Structure 1
Amino acid sequence: MKVLYISVLFCFIKFVLSINVTLVGFLYSVDDSLSCISGKFNEYSKANNLGITLDTIFYTYKNSTADVENIQGFMQELTNKKEKSRYDMFLIDTIYNSNYINHFLNLYDYLPESITNLYKEGIATKTCIFDNKLTALPLYVDYGGLYYNELLLNKYNKTVPQTWDELIDTHNYIYYQESSIDPSLNKYSGLPKGEAGVAATLEFIHTFRDNKDDDFPEITSENAVNALKKMKEVKEKASDDVTFGLSQEELWSSIFGENKNYIFFRSWYIDDIYKPSTNGQREISLKFAPLPGNKPGISGSCVGGSNMSISKYLSKEKADAAVEVMKYLFNKEFQKYLVLNVKKISAMQSIYQDNEVCDVINCTIYGEMQGVVRPNNLAIDYEDYSNQLITQVRDYIIEGKTKKPEDVLTQIDDIRRIHYVEYSSISGIIIMVVVVIIFILLIFTYIFISIKRKRVQFKFLSFSYWCLYLIGTFLLVCSCFTHIGNIQNYSCYLRLFLITIGFTLSFIPFIIKITLNFPRRNTLINFIKKHENLTIIFFIALDVIIDILWIILDPPKTKVELIMYGPNFKICKSNNKIGTILTIILIIKALIILFVMFYLLLSEWNLVMYKSDITSITCALISTFINFTVYAIILFIHFNSRYVHNGFRCGIILVVCLSNLIVLVGSKITNIMFGNNKDNTYGPNINKFIDKTGCFNDNIEKELDFIDIDDIVDNKLVNKTPTTTTNKYKKNNNMKMNHYKNINNKNNSNNNTTTNTESTFYSSNSSFNNYLNTSTTSSNLTSSSANNNSSNL
């Protein structure tokens, strides 16, 4: 009794401590041949006291509504957030393994080399390695090849064809002899519908290599063109449109369900098939062989099968248990069991040197299959690639559309490649030429504003503000480089900062200057006047904060634009609505800046001293508004051409930068270089004024007000005798008005040109007159002293 109690307790403890590992997968076959996996491993686990139990869940056409074309969507459901902890291991088709590499463990870090080294040879393991990480191992492989009717070949004393020309000749000879005897005899079937058709196309191209050891030909090479021509020739000479394009299901259904007979057909390997004649059914003997080639000895076979992976979301205990499962399933003994008992082809090449295996299967064929893998590491979704490829090929081969094979292959190449705006393209050259022109203008502008005697032409802004404008323009132009070449995620981030900060630096200096000239004063304007640098920092910080929030919450990343019958290309796009909302916020912010500038410019339109600058800024503002509106609209428009998509965005930015430079500084540089050797446009004697007063140094904007005459005219020239009052503005407004009337009277007598210019400025400036009418302080200048000294200016 005590012994029984201990045994029960031991079994209970063992059950509690046992680790359950769940393997889930999707199988093309409808049989339950792989159900042996769990049984065999659990026996091994029990015999070795591993304490691990393997459960398997296989979805097939029998127990699932999932369609073969929707396997990828099916697997996405299994790897979503809710299901991550539900399944431990996955068995999926080789073509989908690359889609989920971020969910799988790197087996190089978990499996011993004694296991991984067994799969180094052969091509099947290439479907498992990405970025030098082993994300899976092939449990078994499928090969595409040629099934031939052994009975008919023996009857007419023919051999398995080694070239496509031999296949055409042999097929036609037997067909014309046998078709009169057997009406159910069908022609060659070689381009199935769906995914099998993709494999058949790649196989056919692979058979047109120049040498056996050559890699897969370039898809647009002459070899590929000849392969496509030969495929169409095979269809026209040895088949018809219907039979040549039968799906795999239709093909096998016609053989076993409709008692159809074939001489040759292409299919995935499912074992050699022999069926004796019974109940009126003919005898069937179909054997598998490599596909013919363009030359004898050169063949091609697309590699399929199922790869096994381990989820990376497991606990260490579960991960170690899953590793033990893989150690067992991928050792040589279990692989032999799959080959001998389950009729699966192993990816372990050394197994085809085992005498026991070679007694059952033709090791020569499977050990030397000239395999080719489908491009499962594309930057685009594989299902989109597959659907477009087979559509293009069937349009040319079966549908008979008037296309050249070169055009078909170019379109196929466009499907799998990611194209971009090349620097050598017409669009790239135009963009680079405009960029160079803008850079030259920026350099010239900086040189001229650095020369103090020439800086009077640029007096509207201080030297530091002009530098900020040039930096902003430079950043906007640099954003165009993120549209050329192979853009990456960091290109999207960089573009965001360059455009937002560049726009701010290009316009904020002007809006601050115009605000300071605004005739009315309020708290905001006074704050800006006292804290100009802080205002600039605020706007830049606002841009940076919005950009960082965008990158954190909904980062703009490269996404491939799939273009039907055209080149694919990358764009920068956010995945969620947050990116769209932040885009709208930045657009509104920019529009507010432009509208505020426009309002302030209208308020100061009659400011004579800056009349030309205000006119130039207004023209630049209108041009910017129009281009910016167009830019904001095209941000939400989809284009099918990479040149149009990137060209519009770059073009608008370059037009804004170039037109603003020409309007704002072009005339000033022209006046300096080709003018009448005068350094200003504001008055004939202004140079003397500059020389005597030392005005227009780097800090002049903080020293001048341009409203009170004392800020423009040196006090020594106006009144050498200080007033006896302590208040600078002692006289009332009437005296001040009389003072400026006297100045106007002297202007009418044309005694002095400088006085005329100055008085015209004050008499024409409505803002200044308003100031005089509302002023509550008195001037320290008397009318007599002003009249006596104004002619000395």
Structure 2
Amino acid sequence: MNLYYIILIIILYTQICKGEKVKLKAIALSYQDSGEIFNFMTYEFNKYAKANNLDMELFLNLYTSKNSSLLVNNYGTSLEYLMNKGLTDYDLYFYDIMYTKRYSSYLEDLRDWLPEDHLELYSSGVASQFCKNGDKWVGLPAHVLYDVLYCNMNLLNKYNKNIPKTWNELLKIGKDIRQYEKFNNNLIIYNGLFPDYETSLCSAHEFIYSFRNTKESPFPDYTSKEVIDALNMLRNLKDELSDNDIFKSQESETLNSLFSQNNLFIKFWLLPTNPVYKVIPLVGNKEGVSGSTIGGTNIGINKFISDSRKRLAAKALQFMTSKEIQKKILLKLKSVSAIHSLYDDEEVCAAIDCELIKNIQPIARPNPKIVSYDLYSEKFRKYISDFLYEDKSAPDILNKIENIEKIYEINITSPLAGIIIFVLVIISLLMILFTLPFLFIKKYKPYFRFLSTDFWIFVLFGLVLHLIVILINYGELTKTKCQLRYILWLFGFTFYFIPLFHSFIENFPKERKYLIINRNYKYLFLIFFILIDIILSKLYLSLSTTPEIKFIENGKNYRVCKLYINNYGKYLYLVSLIEKGLIVIAMLILAFHEWNIWKILKDVRSITVAILIDIFLYALYIFMISINITHYIAFYLFYSLIILIFVLSNYAIIYGVRIIRILTNNDADILFIEALSKNSLDLESSSNEMFPSNYI
């Protein structure tokens, strides 16, 4: 081909590529049927991009309740399904503000892509309550929603009533006008707005918030008097001014009723409506204190797209959340913006009631830390429904609401079971500590001849490590505590059993040559098993283990240490059990062969009894963790008592009984000890007839 034509083709191809627009894609899930705001933003951006030759175009994929049943059934999961796959199909996400925390790991930190002065437009207003996860800005609001109170001025003026300033005033005015209008069966005095979906959480949440003591007070604790008073007032409003059906009315029904005049007080989202209604902020328990749950939609940038697309997506996001576009939305669509400074703009205030918006006291929806928002909302709404329609008491319901998120723990001050176990552990530790000196008293040495003094100390140290495992369960159960608990179990087992194991080997009949372990290197023997524990510990620490939260339906949640989180952890745990199990089996085999050796007869039989008890306790522990224990105190008690019984039974059978013999010293024991001290006995060659078997 002629070189001229090749160059011409290259130039033409370059020009074609140069003129091709970048297509940005956004997805929006809207409870509203039209998604008018999102379409308006998309249209305005594309008009701006074309006018400024940006060679980019934004395409919006809009799902509403009309075209997607999936949206109605599960909004949160629907969008997260796309995000969680790490797909690059969409550059921008429009998402409900209640899912900010849930989606934050899939979204870019806007501080990396937007100018600081643009973020400052929102940082002084309510946006920081629902656009940030920690310090990370994961979205900016396309619009916000506030609940307000619509007051029928015709009815209020007709009966010479003022606009209420508190819930008590609203209750009194409502009761009076209901009496005056007793023949008007269609009149709605107060609607409550508690449909069987998310809006009912918003209604309850803001109502509780309106009962805080002052305007500056934080959200009250669920078990406080303020919240109990709030729920009781809410039920009074329903019983005195409304009924179950009205309180449960759908938002669409409430919206339709706003276009009639047959309502006195209607609570609903701030929208342009019938001029017969005076719109005011929701009232509160005290004048000047109110609350309104924030609704709305954020825009975020997909974390998984390329940096070049992130830059373009940031341009689109910056434009749609700019002061100019937000002002247009305010003026044309009467939709509320989160840019607080707009409500000082004369043009804006000529079109909407800026003072109304300034006086609203917004509160973000709950931000659960340990459960998903959907689960929290579902349970919260169920309990509020039980209170309103099933005559449950406010304290009981609030206790259940608090328990949705609360994790119960054992402390040394509560509950009583925790105090008792703590005292028993301390007593056990002191008992071990105070009986330790008997090992160093020369005349009592024969009582402890089965082990050397240092190995007796190791045995007692192993029991102490087991007791520390119980103490670790006090307070918040963390990843570190779970890891430490496993490590203490490994080393506690080794320090307790290996000295006894070595003594069994050391006392094994010499004529049986098939035991090839060298008896003389006892420290090397111990160190070998300690090295195994160190290796297992280091492997276990490499696992990303976290405590598992056991969620108890209508009960008290608590944390447990998950034994393993994957096959690697499972195999590691099994290796640990097999290694410890083989040691126990080997000890039982040696005990069988040494059962009638007089020199260690008592020791072998008592240790065998202790081992059999230990096997039973381990089996009991495995059974305990395999069943579903629904009460945190019961779980802690079973766990702690198993370990405590293990420690005390082994201490009593192997060590404590020797202390008792010392303290109840009889003449026969003294003669025996004196004989030993004079080396008049050769224990290696002693026969069973030389001394009664009830000695040591």
TM-score normalized with structure 2 length:
0.89
Q: Are the structure 2 counterparts of residues 532 and 581 from structure 1 closer, same or farther at C-alpha, using a change threshold of 3 Å?
A: same
Structural mapping, 1:605-684, within 5 Å: 605-673=595-663, 675=665, 684=674
Pick the aligned partner of 1:63 from 53, 57, 67. Answer: 67
Could you tell me how far apart the structure 1 residues matched to 2:511 and 2:16 are?
87
- Letter of the aligned partner of 1:266 in structure 2? K
SS class of match (2:519): helix
Q: Are the structure 2 counterparts of residues 759 and 219 from structure 1 closer, same or farther at C-alpha, using a change threshold of 3 Å?
A: closer
Asked if the contact 1:419/1:567 (under 8 Å) is kept, the reply is yes
Could you tell me how far apart the structure 2 residues matched to 1:504 and 1:131 are?
44
Could you tell me how far apart the structure 1 residues matched to 2:395 and 2:435 are?
52
Q: Shift of residue 294 of structure 1? A: 1.5
Structural mapping, 1:41-60, within 5 Å: 41-60=45-64
Q: Shift of residue 360 of structure 1? A: 1.0
Q: Are the structure 2 counterparts of residues 497 and 406 from structure 1 closer, same or farther at C-alpha, using a change threshold of 3 Å?
A: same
Asked if the contact 2:406/2:557 (under 8 Å) is kept, the reply is yes
Q: Counterpart in 1 of 2:687?
A: 760
Q: Shift of residue 369 of structure 1? A: 0.9
Q: Counterpart in 2 of 1:214?
A: 217
Q: Which moved more, 1:221-230 or 1:504-513?
A: 504-513
Q: Counterpart in 2 of 1:743?
A: none
Asked if the contact 2:272/2:334 (under 8 Å) is kept, the reply is no
Asked if the contact 1:606/1:764 (under 8 Å) is kept, the reply is no
Could you tell me how far apart the structure 2 residues matched to 1:91 and 1:45 are?
20
Pick the aligned partner of 1:38 from 22, 39, 42. Answer: 42
Q: Shift of residue 646 of structure 1? A: 2.2
Pick the aligned partner of 2:553 from 555, 564, 567. Answer: 564
Q: Are the structure 2 counterparts of residues 47 and 546 from structure 1 closer, same or farther at C-alpha, using a change threshold of 3 Å?
A: farther
Structural mapping, 1:334-349, within 5 Å: 334-349=325-340
SS class of match (1:638): coil
**What do residues 181-201 of structure 1 show as CA deviations (whole Å, max 9, x unaligned)?**
5x4333422133222111111
Q: Counterpart in 1 of 2:448?
A: 458
Q: Shift of residue 96 of structure 1? A: 1.4
SS class of match (2:74): helix
Q: Are the structure 2 counterparts of residues 521 and 86 from structure 1 closer, same or farther at C-alpha, using a change threshold of 3 Å?
A: farther
Q: Shift of residue 362 of structure 1? A: 0.6
Q: Shift of residue 363 of structure 1? A: 0.5
Q: Are the structure 2 counterparts of residues 627 and 253 from structure 1 closer, same or farther at C-alpha, using a change threshold of 3 Å?
A: farther
SS class of match (2:70): coil
Residue 264 (str. 1) matches residue 254 (str. 2):
no
Q: Shift of residue 95 of structure 1? A: 1.8
Q: Which moved more, 1:62-71 or 1:223-232?
A: 62-71
Asked if the contact 1:105/1:312 (under 8 Å) is kept, the reply is yes
Pick the aligned partner of 1:148 from 139, 148, 151. Answer: 151
Could you tell me how far apart the structure 1 residues matched to 2:295 and 2:115 are?
25
Could you tell me how far apart the structure 2 residues matched to 1:25 and 1:535 are?
67
Residue 374 (str. 1) matches residue 301 (str. 2):
no
Larger Rg belongs to: 1
- Letter of the aligned partner of 1:41 in structure 2? F
SS class of match (2:89): coil
Asked if the contact 2:368/2:376 (under 8 Å) is kept, the reply is no
Could you tell me how far apart the structure 1 residues matched to 2:95 and 2:645 are?
52
Could you tell me how far apart the structure 1 residues matched to 2:321 and 2:228 are?
40
SS class of match (1:145): strand
SS class of match (1:760): coil
SS class of match (1:66): helix
- Letter of the aligned partner of 2:269 in structure 1? W
Residue 421 (str. 1) matches residue 423 (str. 2):
no
Could you tell me how far apart the structure 1 residues matched to 2:316 and 2:513 are?
75
Q: Shift of residue 545 of structure 1? A: 4.4
Q: Counterpart in 2 of 1:230?
A: 233
Q: Which moved more, 1:355-364 or 1:447-456?
A: 447-456
Structural mapping, 1:274-289, within 5 Å: 274=274, 285-286=276-277, 288-289=279-280
Structural mapping, 1:318-337, within 5 Å: 318-337=309-328
Q: Are the structure 2 counterparts of residues 528 and 90 from structure 1 closer, same or farther at C-alpha, using a change threshold of 3 Å?
A: farther
SS class of match (1:640): coil
Q: Counterpart in 1 of 2:187?
A: 185
Residue 117 (str. 1) matches residue 120 (str. 2):
yes
- Letter of the aligned partner of 1:759 in structure 2? S
Could you tell me how far apart the structure 1 residues matched to 2:19 and 2:483 are?
54
Q: Are the structure 2 counterparts of residues 572 and 85 from structure 1 closer, same or farther at C-alpha, using a change threshold of 3 Å?
A: farther
Q: Shift of residue 354 of structure 1? A: 0.8
Q: Are the structure 2 counterparts of residues 545 and 54 from structure 1 closer, same or farther at C-alpha, using a change threshold of 3 Å?
A: farther
What is the Cα-based RMSD across aligned positions, in Å?
3.3
Q: Are the structure 2 counterparts of residues 5 and 185 from structure 1 closer, same or farther at C-alpha, using a change threshold of 3 Å?
A: farther
Q: Shift of residue 666 of structure 1? A: 1.0
Residue 397 (str. 1) matches residue 388 (str. 2):
yes
Residue 603 (str. 1) matches residue 612 (str. 2):
no
Q: Shift of residue 617 of structure 1? A: 1.0
**What do residues 165-222 of structure 1 show as CA deviations (whole Å, max 9, x unaligned)?**
22223333444444635x4333422133222111111111111122222222222111
Q: Are the structure 2 counterparts of residues 236 and 463 from structure 1 closer, same or farther at C-alpha, using a change threshold of 3 Å?
A: same
Q: Where does the alignment leave 5 or more consecutive residues of structure 1 unmatched?
A: 275-283, 690-752, 766-793
- Letter of the aligned partner of 2:74 in structure 1? N
Q: Counterpart in 2 of 1:714?
A: none
Residue 487 (str. 1) matches residue 477 (str. 2):
yes
SS class of match (1:501): helix
Pick the aligned partner of 2:458 from 468, 486, 490. Answer: 468
Q: Counterpart in 2 of 1:163?
A: 166
Q: Are the structure 2 counterparts of residues 93 and 523 from structure 1 closer, same or farther at C-alpha, using a change threshold of 3 Å?
A: farther
Q: Are the structure 2 counterparts of residues 127 and 620 from structure 1 closer, same or farther at C-alpha, using a change threshold of 3 Å?
A: same
- Letter of the aligned partner of 2:186 in structure 1? S
Asked if the contact 1:192/1:248 (under 8 Å) is kept, the reply is yes
Could you tell me how far apart the structure 1 residues matched to 2:105 and 2:513 are?
56
Could you tell me how far apart the structure 2 residues matched to 1:385 and 1:756 are?
71
- Letter of the aligned partner of 1:117 in structure 2? E
Q: Shift of residue 583 of structure 1? A: 4.3
Pick the aligned partner of 1:516 from 500, 506, 510. Answer: 506
SS class of match (1:667): helix
Could you tell me how far apart the structure 1 residues matched to 2:529 and 2:337 are?
65
Asked if the contact 2:331/2:351 (under 8 Å) is kept, the reply is yes
Could you tell me how far apart the structure 2 residues matched to 1:8 and 1:40 are?
32
SS class of match (1:347): coil
Q: Shift of residue 287 of structure 1? A: 5.4
Could you tell me how far apart the structure 1 residues matched to 2:440 and 2:90 are?
69
Q: Counterpart in 2 of 1:199?
A: 202
Could you tell me how far apart the structure 2 residues matched to 1:14 and 1:158 are?
69
Q: Counterpart in 1 of 2:429?
A: 439
Q: Are the structure 2 counterparts of residues 756 and 100 from structure 1 closer, same or farther at C-alpha, using a change threshold of 3 Å?
A: closer
- Letter of the aligned partner of 2:198 in structure 1? E
Could you tell me how far apart the structure 2 residues matched to 1:619 and 1:53 are?
80
Could you tell me how far apart the structure 2 residues matched to 1:321 and 1:673 are?
85
Asked if the contact 1:128/1:136 (under 8 Å) is kept, the reply is yes
Q: Are the structure 2 counterparts of residues 505 and 56 from structure 1 closer, same or farther at C-alpha, using a change threshold of 3 Å?
A: farther
Q: How many residues align?
A: 682
Paired-residue identity, %: 32
Q: Which moved more, 1:104-113 or 1:90-99?
A: 104-113
TM-score normalized with structure 1 length:
0.79
Q: Which moved more, 1:130-139 or 1:328-337?
A: 130-139
- Letter of the aligned partner of 1:339 in structure 2? L
Asked if the contact 1:514/1:601 (under 8 Å) is kept, the reply is yes
Q: Where does the alignment leave 5 or more consecutive residues of structure 2 unmatched?
A: none
Could you tell me how far apart the structure 2 residues matched to 1:618 and 1:586 are?
22
Q: Are the structure 2 counterparts of residues 418 and 90 from structure 1 closer, same or farther at C-alpha, using a change threshold of 3 Å?
A: farther
Q: Shift of residue 551 of structure 1? A: 5.4
Q: Counterpart in 2 of 1:350?
A: 341
Q: Shift of residue 106 of structure 1? A: 2.7
Pick the aligned partner of 2:296 from 300, 305, 326. Answer: 305
Q: Counterpart in 2 of 1:769?
A: none
Q: Shift of residue 126 of structure 1? A: 1.4
